[in-house]
Structure 1
Amino acid sequence: MNNAEKRRLSPKVSLFLLASILVSFVAASTAPTPLYGIYQARWHFSPITTTVVFAIYAVAVLATLLTLGKLSDHVGRRPVLLVAIAVQMISLVIFIFATGVPTLLAARVVQGLAAGAATGAVGAAMLDINRARGTLANSIAPGIGTGTGVLLSALLIQFLPAPTRLVYIVLLVILLIQGVGIVLMPETVTPMKGALQSLRPEIKLPRAVRGPVLIVAPVLFAVWALAGFFSALGPALVRALMYTSIVAGGLAVFVFALFGSITILLLRNAAARTVMLTGVAALILGMIITLVSVTTDSIAGFFVGLAFGGVGFGGGFQGSLKTVMPLVEAHERAGVLSLLYIVCYVGFGLPTVIAGFLVVHAGGLPRTANEYSVAVILLALVALLGLRRASKT
């Protein structure tokens, strides 16, 4: 073993580093959420614009996943992650110097490109190191990132100066440290030919996982649709119900993410079907509670609904990964994981933009929240039927 190899990070440290990068990328995507109210007051745009700025990130992620999702299988995980971190840092610089909606849109697009490039590579690298722990980390990191990004941003806005810049500076420093970590991390896959050909967009699933993916797709769509709504409009809804500070709005997203992460930890050793059924049941119950709470202006009930929704997100997302990823060969991991995330981000972005339109043109935020809850319940019921049919075959 030469000196360069001795200086490489251990598998355990590498896995932690990769999980932290996924957390940072998701946190960076949700950090602007508490700031949308400030941006809206400064630049006078509607909730539709807010959701478009939010959701264009998902469009950029989708485009990148379709083209770069399998690239790390061919050139290695480390090169893709280093470039993705650099691009993510560029997006944060754009946020720092944002002067209007066009700048926000540009920042979100660049951010989405970075996230799309990193998602498949970082997820596959964790599975390369340890399949069981990698699956757990892939499941838990998005929830942690969602919650910490929004709450950190809200706290910095409330208590420290430079509210539209400080959170991005903090994230820049974190990403810089993580980039150094990637340089020190050993490569987890042997590069192979076909890198240019892998850039051609195609939806291709190994035969072994086609059936399982069809089963989990409605679950993934439903739980990420809920995550998208709460991330984009949850803080505004809490403020509408409570007439309170921006921190309470950030706390709503944090509670959702916290219960999702706790669920993943508690159910990490349960069978995939058990995890998914728990998630779908909690999702339905949480949306019913949310529906009643918004109708009756009960903020306590709303937070209870958020907690159950978080359980639904954690169970649905983890159960989906546990159902599909163990069936995938090592050289197929990045591509399959990217395809699953495509389903996630379609659910994350599209329904949220529709919700923003409804807020402006069909009755306001509380009514839209109720309609959204009903839609998620219906999606969850479709997923439940799919799970029951699968168990009979």
Structure 2
Amino acid sequence: MSPQISPTVSFAGLATVFAAFFFAAGAPTPLLSLRQQEWQFSAGALSIAFSIYALGLLVALLIGGSLSDYVGRRPVMLAALYGELASMIVFLIAPTITWVIVARALQGLATGFATSAFSAAIAEQAPAHLKKLAGGLAGASVAGGLGIGALLTGAAVQFTPDANTLIFTILAGVMVLAIVFVSFTAETAAKQPGALRSLTPRLGLPGNVRGEFAAGIPVHIAGWMFPAFFLGLSPVMLRLHFTLDGGLAAGFTAFLGPFAAAISSFVFNRHPARRSTLVGTSLTLLGTIVVLLGISAPWLPAVWIGAALGGIGFGASFGGQLRLLAPHIQPHQRAGVFSGIYTVAYLAFGIPVIIAGQLVPVLGLVPTLQWYAAAVIAVAVPAILIQVARLRRDTAPAPGPAHSIA
């Protein structure tokens, strides 16, 4: 029998490996801007290269979201790592934007299969005194990994002669080490029959959460459209509107929102879920308005301030929505409910950016960016009003017993 790593080391290591998936997902943002200059492809192709990742991730979540419950965590984690390694190799050798789109699609699929398996394994490997931290750590790994990946890759674009080779060679090496590490972690889920049946996409919403789920849809749409703007459209905005070609500016702009979201997810975790959702959505609205002003002025520091504000709001609102639903979900209902949440989230993350990319040649860059921001505002305002109404309902005093009049 091969030696196994202790649960404490496994917990820390798996969280690090999970973050590496999203570091790799954030890395292409400044590189895509560089490739657009070199290969001269359209803004529409750039938006597809970004968004195909989210759509691939969504497909994998819908198909394989509960697969690790049946075949075990480790086989799914290893399969996801091999898929991620393959995508890093394609990124490394890609000669055209078509190959980059293939790599992004493969990366999205790998990350989708990784998401549920790693999230569950991290929670199951966590020592007792860190169980509460596990969920927040998994969420912070997503946002923090995206932001840090974009920032460090932007620095590599700025200061090294071949950032693409450097970044994806390192990431390929990280995935190889991760495969070795995960191979020695203990299995935390017993195998059970039904693996093939589990691949049928299911969006199960128990009756007791449907109202809350529906009320959260505009929150998710506004929240996820906001970081998608910076990860998918900011490279074009910086290059053509602010005339900045440097990778560091692209990386920093993409970094601010996700990193702020990672920090705020921990901070707001201590506050009531409804208030976190309401405050977070309000900050997303405020951040979008500030970004819109920065684009229209034009004044780049306003865009950065808005990115931070909206990122804080995204982390607070998404975490708040998850905490509003979680207490009402039975263990056997989790996969279906979370599939529903992430279906809304990743459609909002991917589809609007594709539409915006196709509109740039028609409307022009700045009007397209302004319309995108206006769409976020148009969704955020009713989202706030709905949450205010539900907060009032939550805090309304229960009606007392009726008194008869003698």
TM-score band by shorter chain is over 0.9
Is the counterpart of residue 199 in structure 1 residue 195 in structure 2?
A: no
Whether the 8 Å contact between 1:139 and 1:321 is mirrored in structure 2 is: no
Amino acid at match of 1:143: A
Taking structure 1 as reference, are residues 21 and 328 closer, same or farther at Cα in structure 2, changes over 3 Å only?
farther
TM-score, normalised to structure 1's length? Answer: 0.92
User: In the superposition, relative to structure 1, how do residues 325 and 190 fare at CA in structure 2: closer, same or farther (>3 Å)?
Assistant: farther
Q: Which is further off, 184-193 or 144-153? A: 184-193
**Structure 1 gap segments, 5+ residues each:** none
- Show the counterpart of 2:368: 368
Match of 1:42 in 2: 38
- 2:345 is aligned with what amino acid? C
* Aligned equivalents of 1:176, 1:323: Cα separation in 2: 38
State whether residues 40 and 46 of structure 1, in contact with CA within 8 Å, keep that contact through their aligned partners in structure 2: yes
Deviation of 1:4 after TM superposition, in Å, equals: 5.6
Which residue type is aligned with residue 51 of structure 2?
A
In the other structure, the counterpart of 2:65 is: 69
Q: Is the 8 A contact 1:9 1:184 kept in 2?
A: no
Residue 62 of structure 1 contacts residue 342 of structure 1 at CA under 8 Å; is this kept in 2?
yes
> Does the residue aligned with 1:143 lie in a helix, a strand or coil?
helix
**Residues 76 and 275 (structure 1), Cα distance of their counterparts in 2 relative to 1, 3 Å cut:** same
Structure 2 unaligned segments of length 5 or more: list them: 395-406
Provide the C-alpha distance between the structure 1 equivalents of 2:279 and 2:108, rounded to a whole number of angstroms: 31
The alpha carbon displacement at 1:376 in A equals 0.7
TM-score when scaled to structure 2? 0.89
RMSD: 2.0
How many percent identity over aligned positions? Answer: 34
Could you tell me how far apart the structure 2 residues matched to 1:193 and 1:207 are? Answer: 27
Greater displacement, 319-328 / 164-173: 319-328
- DSSP-derived class of the 2:103 partner: helix
The answer as to whether partners of 1:236 and 1:249 remain within 8 angstroms in 2 is: no
Distance 1:74 1:174 in 2: 28
8 Å Cα contact 1:225-1:351 kept in structure 2: yes
What secondary structure does 1:82 align onto?
helix
Higher deviation after alignment, 35-44 or 344-353: 35-44
User: What letter matches 2:146 in structure 1?
Assistant: T
Q: What residue number does 2:47 align with?
A: 51
- Name the larger-Rg structure: 2
Q: How many residues are treated as equivalent by the alignment?
A: 388
Partner residue in 2 for 1:151: 151
Matched position secondary structure for 2:270 = coil
1:98: Cα distance to partner? 0.3
Displacement of 1:178: 2.1
Aligned equivalent of 1:8, options 5, 9, 22: 5
1:292 partnered with 2:288:
no
Question: Is contact 1:120-1:335 (8 Å) kept?
Answer: no
Give 1:357's aligned residue: 358
Offset of residue 43 of structure 1: 2.4
The change in CA–CA distance for 1:4 and 1:61 in structure 2 (over 3 A counts) is same
Deviates more, 1:13-22 or 1:113-122: 13-22
Q: In 2, are the aligned partners of 1:23 and 1:141 still within 8 Å (CA)?
A: yes
Match of 2:348 in 1: 347
Which of 59, 79, 84 is the matching residue for 2:80?
84
Aligned pairs for 1:284-323 (under 5 A) are: 284-323=285-324
Shift of 1:379: 1.2
| In 2, Cα distance between equivalents of 1:252 and 1:37 | 12
SS at match of 1:268: helix
Q: 1:117 aligns with which of 97, 105, 113?
A: 113
Residue pair 1:64, 1:117 contacting (<8 A) in 2 also: yes
Q: What secondary structure does 1:312 align onto?
A: helix
After superposition, residues 374-389 of structure 1 pair within 5 angstroms as: 374-389=374-389
1:166, distance to aligned residue in structure 2 (A): 1.4
Take 2:331 and 2:375, find their aligned partners in 1: how far apart are those partners? 37
Q: Structure 1, residues 202-244: CA drift from partner, whole Å, max 9, x if none?
A: 2223444333322323212211111111101113323432635
